[in-house]
Amino acid sequence: QVQLVESGGGSVQAGDSLRLSCVVHGRTFASNAMGWIRQAPGKEREVVAALTFSSGTTYYSTSAKGRFTISRDNAKNTVYLQMSSLKPEDTGVYYCAAPFRGFIYNASELHEYDYWGQGTQVTVSA
């Protein structure tokens, strides 16, 4: 059984940085695509960053580009989301997610992701 466990969320001020972590249990994901999805209050879930495959090809949403960095540590079966210059509009629950088949065609599409963590809350105050 695959389990994704996020951590690292919290309450910060605008301009601060946070690093989210997602540990994958039950599956070696060295070559797996992974994504970080945000659900802001009152809004639909949005993919903010993704590793499309083990080669390191990345995807970032327009809002995340230049401020967020997704990375992985295969030895720890962990994927990270480094967020800097945080804004109040970055507030939301952040989920990590992975596709069953290991790769994704369109990183921005939520239906590409089959396994989801429980989410970690990020709150950014002005």
Q: Residue 27 pLDDT more than 80?
A: no
Measured CA to CA, the distance from residue 73 to residue 82 in angstroms comes to 13
Measured CA to CA, the distance from residue 14 to residue 90 in angstroms comes to 9
The 10s digit of each residue's pLDDT in 31-45 is 789 999 999 999 999
| 115 closest CA partner among 56, 40, 29, 43 | 29
The per-residue pLDDT for 55 is 61
**Dihedral of alpha carbons 118, 54, 107, 100, sign:** negative
Residue 15 CB-density burial (10 A; 0-12 exposed, 13-18 middle, 19+ buried):
exposed
Which DSSP state fits 105? S
